Amino acid sequence: MEDNPLLLRLKELESLERLVEKIGRVDLHASDGKGLEAMLKDLFRLETKAA
């Protein structure tokens, strides 16, 4: 799984989903002032390793 960034990210999101189900609510705050859209792009960004 470490060799596939998409599967790794999916596993992370599934873990977050299970956590939110137990908590019921998660508040996100963009502390650097970039706004929600930039924060979501950073959150769901897939990084590829250079060849």
What is the token pair recorded at 34? 């970039």
What confidence score (pLDDT) does residue 25 get?
Answer: 75
- Chain-centre distance for alpha carbon 35: 16
Q: What is the model's pTM?
A: 0.45
Mean pLDDT for each consecutive 10-residue tract of the chain (51 residues)? 82 86 75 71 64 48
What confidence score (pLDDT) does residue 26 get?
Answer: 72
What confidence score (pLDDT) does residue 9 get?
Answer: 85
- Domain map (residue ranges) of the chain: 5-43
